[in-house]
Amino acid sequence: MSYPPIHITFLGTGTSSGVPMVACDCAVCRSADTKDQRLRSSILIQSPGTTLVVDTGPDFRTQMLRKSVKKLDAVLLTHSHKDHIAGLDEVRAYNYFQKKPMELYATEATLNRVKMEFDYAFSDFRVPGIPSINLQYINERTAFTVGELQVEPISVWHMRMPVLGFRFGGFTYITDANRIDKASKEKIQGSKVLVLNALRHEPHISHFTLKEAVALADELEIPQVYFTHISHQMGFHREVETTLPQGRNLAFDGLEISL
């Protein structure tokens, strides 16, 4: 089955604190290189008929303005941590201009957290200006469609927390993981491009290190892999890039690829 052409924009490639980190005076946080300046992790997927974002972190408004996204059909959430959902209120601008609710896709656990964090959006008493959201429950074992795009959910582990990755044809996006089971690896295999989280060089309790992410990319035999969810502890973009093998690269805010 053919898959429509898609264009991917990295809206943010930073970890939960972003880069620069508030109150930090390290060399990376003071870097003038725009590739060292990272908003919270999110991507924009555009096909001829469908536009969606994966995750709406605290920088969502800035990211939509920076990319001048005038149309948004849906939001997909990987999980419920604040750095992935905190900007969801901003979909009310799309409610206003598109004259319809925003479609929000996530697991039941994530949507339950959304309903707690943004309880006013789901109240029976509707105040003008609050976001309007249609909740769409994802079964992690079942593919679903958003407009013309088929989406394959992929379950990964963020320490003990289940997190979703998503595959769109030949493109797979995984963030906030430190373990991926065999069945999920099989869903990733065959991708042309994989995005995978790589927090830093030192071990972390719930994220892949750069070395671990490179090893997983090689194990899965993906020809092109971009690393995201990067902290200031990773080092300078330009220096880390020189150490990586061919087909393994650090992503950066504003990077665009097409499949």
Residue showing tokens 């890039």: 241
Question: Would you place residue 148 in the very low, low, confident or very high pLDDT band (cuts 50, 70, 90)?
Answer: very high
Domains present along the chain, CATH in parentheses: 7-258 (3.60.15.10)
Q: Looking at the predicted structure, is the pLDDT value of residue 1 above 80?
A: no
Q: Looking at the predicted structure, is the pLDDT value of residue 217 above 70?
A: yes
Q: Looking at the predicted structure, is the pLDDT value of residue 256 above 90?
A: yes
pTM: 0.97
φ/ψ of residue 163, rounded to 5: -130, 150
Q: Looking at the predicted structure, is the pLDDT value of residue 56 above 90?
A: yes
The whole-number average pLDDT for the span 85-107 is 98
Percent of the chain with pLDDT over 90: 97
Q: Could you give the CA distance from residue 246 to residue 223 in angstroms, rounded to a whole number?
A: 9
The whole-number average pLDDT for the span 42-64 is 98
Q: Could you give the CA distance from residue 177 to residue 199 in angstroms, rounded to a whole number?
A: 10
Residue showing tokens 């290190």: 209
pLDDT at position 168 = 98
- The residues with which 44 forms a beta bridge, in sequence order, are 9, 53
Quote the mean pLDDT of the chain.
Answer: 97
Dihedral sign for Cα atoms in the order 65, 52, 216, 193: negative
Residue pair 230/13 in contact by the 8 Å Cβ criterion: yes
Question: Would you place residue 125 in the very low, low, confident or very high pLDDT band (cuts 50, 70, 90)?
Answer: confident
CA nearest 257: which of 196, 186, 192?
A: 192
pLDDT at position 126 = 85
Q: Could you give the CA distance from residue 151 to residue 118 in angstroms, rounded to a whole number?
A: 26
Q: Which of 97-111, 124-138, 240-254 has the lowest mean pLDDT?
A: 124-138
Q: 74-101 as b/e, with b when 16 or more CB fall inside 10 Å?
A: bbbbbbbbebbbbbbbbbeebbeeeeee
